[in-house]
Chains A and B, each alone.
Chain A
Amino acid sequence: MSTVSVTITVNGKTQTAEVEPRTLLVQYLRDNLGLTGTHTGCDTSQCGACTVLVDGVSAKSCTVLAVQADGSSVTTIEGFAPFGTLHPIQQAFWEEHGLQCGYCTPGMIMTTASLLARNPDPTEEEIRHELHGNLCRCTGYHTIVNAVRKSAELLASGAEPAPIDQVAGN
């Protein structure tokens, strides 16, 4: 079976690879590039664990072929903030206990980023609506919603990525 050439800028780095057309973006990110922070939680694009940003907008990388992302710029959790720092959204998820097992968390963070880029000050109802495509089995969503609210507040106040050890503690 033939392969196709894809050139995708992932976390700022442009790379070209030959892939089978059927290669999903999530498989390309995980298997070809070793970016395993993006997870797979279902087969049917319900769970959102695989959510990444494609050209700044949330996309379920299990329902996008790598070749469909050819020429795009993809951000995964690994490239979401400069290495060693936490993006304000990450800070908020930590601060608000917005995660337990952590499996859905990278996807939740990506969806949050996409939401806040479009709507910087969402209501609780809007947040819950926008999280429809991201499933969490641990938290009951309560603290995730709080984390999204907190993210909005931090971003509105001009917060920037900060070194992990500086945002550690309480």
Chain B
Amino acid sequence: MVLSRYVGASVKRKEDPRLITGSSTYVDDLKIPGLAHVAIVRSPYAHADITGIDKSAALAQPGVLAVYTGEDLAKILKNDYPIIPEGDTGHSHYKDRDDEDAIVVPKNRPIETRRVRYVGEPVAAVVAETSAAANDATAYVEVSYKELDAVIDPYEAREDGAPQLYDKVKNNISVREETVHGDVASALNDAAIRFEVKIRSPRCHPAPMEGRAILAQPDPILRGLTFWSSTQAPHWNRNEIAASLGLSQTQVRCIAPEVGGGFGCKIGGYPEDFIVCAIAWDMKRPVKWIESRSENFLATNHGRNQWAEFEVGADANGRMTALKARILLDSGAYPKALDLAWATWVMSAGPYLVDNLDYVVEGVYTNTMANGAYRGAGRPEAAFYLERLMDLIADKGGLDPTEVRRVNFIPPEQFPFETLTGEVYDTGEYAKALDHAMEVIDYKTLRQEQARLREEGRYLGIGVASYVEICGFGPYESSTVRVEPSGQVSIFTGISPHGQGQETTFSQMAADYIGADFEAVVVHHGDTATTPQGNGTMGSRGLAVGGAALMMSLDKIREKASRIAAYILEASAEDIELVDGRYQVKGVPGRGVTLQDIADKAYSDDLPEGVDPGLDTTDFFRVPEETFPFGTHIAVVEVSPDTGETTIVRYVSVDDCGNIISPNLVTGQVHGGLAQGIGQALWEELHYDNNGELITATLTDYALPKAGFFPEFESHHTTTTTYLNPMGAKGIGEAATIGSTPATANAVLDALEPWGIHHLDTPLTPEKVWRAISEASA
């Protein structure tokens, strides 16, 4: 393949040949001699004290090698279970509070010795010669429990007298973020449009197609441990496991091989990571644990899961003058990703100008699975609320929803724009994306069509959502570029892609920016032994941050390569330019060399004065500020009033992620985000019963969207670049998820307008819609 410019071209992914032939290696595909298998015994109770564990019957089962309890692990693991990667997220405001109201973040152990706090919590681990034997034997580990009162409802959880999950945590409060700015009370009093609403953001399940998986084995070369984990951030896991086993970071190697999706739920160590590594270390043999889908529902982070109460004021034009929010985040039983509260809070006003803001997000522990990052992680909630509120302002004021957004947008000339929560939006042209989406879908005609169909008794709904989101988190990302002596390029990155396609994107960049042979570039990731310290793939940071680090390396390589080229060509380095993969003398296209020629020289003793041999570099990009992609989505649905069923008729997305390097991959990220966001709007929700039993614990209960649920997506872009990184690129991994939930929900509620229905909680299941119509008609 010869392209003069790879950047900006849709190239076929370099990742795909191994994936479409089944020759790649996910954790469960590793073939390790002497491998033993771990199965986890899990709590059937939401809240209980463990009063005794009898392993003897399990140990007598065929093939069983060992049973580990929390007490056993406590002898192997040196530290508490560091669920929160302290200092790594860069956003831990609540931890800075040292006054008496400080919120205590409890420490836990991979297997608690005394108390379990959710159904599915590990209480013991069985090790056996085969996976089947380990699974069979779990039924023979006899655990005695003393059941305690459980608290499932987060509003109940923060009441005085509610069951307490942790002795030192007051009222089960896990986290709190707040901002008061301006005079909300007066603004509400003066508002022409004023209303209150409570909005639920449902408990969702990330559900990557590959569950979690871990294989650990003692490694004599390291005098430590190598483990393979289906994780999004292998360096974080390596550091956590090393600390926990009391080993140095040089003694522990984490490899994230092929990873079958993550969507946020594979960030950070889980109990099973520590359990499996501890067992391998203790038994001195390789052991593996593969999560079943049922376990995945019970014991892999859930997401979203907020209740939000609003008071809103707006003037007669729909300009929002006051926003008061009291948001309750259900953290589940353990402190995971507590900064989700921050993420919702920090995006409280989204793309809009708000002068009077009183916004509080509080989290509480409940006896349910922990709530963690799920694609968008706190920002989809904020955008969902705002976009519902914009539609409610339009409803109350008799205004068109697109106009309400338009009058509230932060105008382009105010960028960089500092928000009331202290973030600086880099660049944005929100109306441009809105205009583009309206043009693509022919908004005016569509409204006429909607009116016409209503006369026929058909209920079309048009839903608009404009969003801005924060992504490209730091604190840094790393890159090594090594031009091999033969001239081919190896790239090592600290991000850890698992479907995003940066092997392709980074190769495109190397091809264009240093003249690398695209086909021959190999991008290495996900191995702490070979890649520089990094922060993994999450938060739409792969390109915006990982790519920025790569650009630093590519710049350095090009600069050195140019000096060597100048030496070969007997020209001045300033006169060397890279054109179509050749370093040539400006104005003399015939005089040029390839990267291969330069590498040959770079690893020889024939080098210009002052130039060291070799052609490689390692660089760290420090994130100056986050980037803020934005966009507008418009969904068109038809609601069948007799059953409440919703059909998606059209879906137009306009996302602005700045400059695009791999258009097909960006579109793929958008499509996947749409499916998840629409899924949340229409189908997806986890339910616990009052006893803390998860009643949607399989894929026969929890509806992951299927191919037949969607029309063809119409995805478009506007381009507003950022100055924060050399590519001018913002993130795209989460954007479409953020736009699509409100656009879809708004469309359904727009269809229900004839019945005077203004808000329903998502997912907008047929029964919920039917019930609302029935009640409104009664």
Contacts and interface: CB of A to CB of B under 8 A. Distances in A.
B671 A102 contact: no
Nearest to B665: A97
Given A93-B16, A106-B22, A135-B706, A101 B1 contact: no
A103 interface: yes
B22 A140 contact: no
B208 A137 contact: yes
B713 A99 contact: no
Contacts of B23: 37, 78
Contacts of A42: 293, 698-699
Dominant secondary structure of chain A at its interface with chain B: loop
Given A100-B668, A105-B20, A170-B11, A137 B700 contact: no
Contacts of B704: 46-47, 135, 137
B15 interface: yes
A25 interface: no
A24 to B, nearest CB: 10
Interface stretch (B255-263, B306-314, B394-402, B577-585): B255-263
A102 B260 contact: yes
A132 B706 contact: yes
A94 B504 CA distance: 13
Interface in A20-38: 20, 22, 30, 34-38
B209 interface: yes
A43 B298 CA distance: 13
A90 B16 CA distance: 9
Nearest to B704: A135
B13 A142 contact: no
A95 B12 contact: yes
Contacts of B498: 101
A12 to B, nearest CB: 16
Contact of B672 (A34, A44, A49, A138): A138
Interface stretch (B24-32, B237-245, B589-597, B603-611): B24-32
Given A44-B700, A168-B1, A102 B15 contact: yes
Interface string B383-417: 00000000000000000000000000000000000
Nearest to A93: B20
Interface stretch (A2-10, A53-61, A64-72, A122-130): A122-130
Given A46-B700, A76-B22, A129-B708, A164 B17 contact: yes
A5 to B, nearest CB: 19
Interface in B589-640: none
B668 A139 contact: yes
A1 B19 CA distance: 37
Given A101-B209, A102-B20, A132-B707, A137 B699 contact: no
Interface in A100-148: 100-106, 109, 124, 127-129, 131-132, 134-145
B294 interface: yes
Nearest to A89: B20
Nearest to A103: B260
A29 to B, nearest CB: 11
Contacts of A39: 26, 28, 209-210, 260
Contacts of A109: 20
A141 B20 contact: no
B625 to A, nearest CB: 29
A77 interface: yes
A49 B209 contact: yes
Nearest to A131: B707
B675 interface: yes
A158 interface: no
Contact of B668 (A81, A104, A143): A143
Contacts of B17: 86, 94, 164, 168
B500 interface: yes
Contact of B12 (A100, A129, A169): A169
Contacts of B258: 101-102
B13 A34 contact: no
Given A43-B294, A101-B208, A140 B699 contact: no
A37 to B, nearest CB: 2
A137 B707 contact: no
A37 B22 contact: yes
A37 B21 contact: yes
B292 A90 contact: no
A141 B679 CA distance: 13
Interface residues of B, number: 62
Given A46-B699, A102-B258, A170-B1, A142 B713 contact: yes
A80 B668 CA distance: 26
A91 to B, nearest CB: 9
B159 interface: no
B674 interface: yes
A68 to B, nearest CB: 18
Interface in B62-107: none
A135 B706 CA distance: 6
A43 B19 contact: no
B762 interface: no
A104 to B, nearest CB: 5
Contact of B499 (A94, A101, A128, A131): A101
A85 B706 CA distance: 30
B209 A94 contact: no
Given A36-B29, A78-B21, A94 B16 contact: yes
Nearest to A99: B19
Nearest to A38: B22
A94 B132 CA distance: 36
A4 B675 CA distance: 44
Given A34-B31, A86-B21, A142 B210 contact: no
Contacts of A38: 22
B15 to A, nearest CB: 7
Contacts of A95: 12
Contacts of B500: 100
A22 B136 CA distance: 12
A101 B210 contact: yes
Contacts of A49: 209
Contacts of B25: 36
Nearest to A97: B664
Given A41-B210, A168-B12, A138 B22 contact: no
A137 B12 contact: no
Nearest to B1: A169
Interface string B663-680: 011011001111110000
A161 to B, nearest CB: 11
B770 interface: no
Contacts of A34: 31
A3 B668 CA distance: 46
Contacts of B766: none
A100 B672 contact: yes
B699 A103 contact: no
Contacts of A86: 17, 20-21
A142 B704 CA distance: 15
B21 A140 contact: no
B521 to A, nearest CB: 13
A132 to B, nearest CB: 5
Contacts of A138: 209, 261, 499, 668, 672
22 contacts: A35-B22, A36-B26, A36-B31, A41-B210, A44-B699, A49-B209, A76-B22, A77-B22, A86-B17, A94-B20, A97-B13, A97-B664, A101-B261, A102-B16, A102-B24, A135-B699, A137-B261, A139-B672, A140-B710, A169-B12, A170-B9, A170-B11
Given A46-B699, A102-B18, 4 more contacts: A41-B211, A104-B209, A136-B209, A140-B705
6 closest residue pairs by CB, A with B: A37-B22, A102-B19, A103-B260, A101-B499, A77-B22, A169-B1
Interface of A: 20, 22, 30, 34-44, 46-47, 49, 76-78, 80-81, 86, 90, 93-95, 97, 99-106, 109, 124, 127-129, 131-132, 134-145, 164, 168-170
Interface of B: 1, 3, 9-13, 15-26, 28-29, 31, 132, 207-211, 258-261, 263, 292-294, 498-501, 519, 664-665, 667-668, 671-676, 698-700, 704-708, 710, 712-713
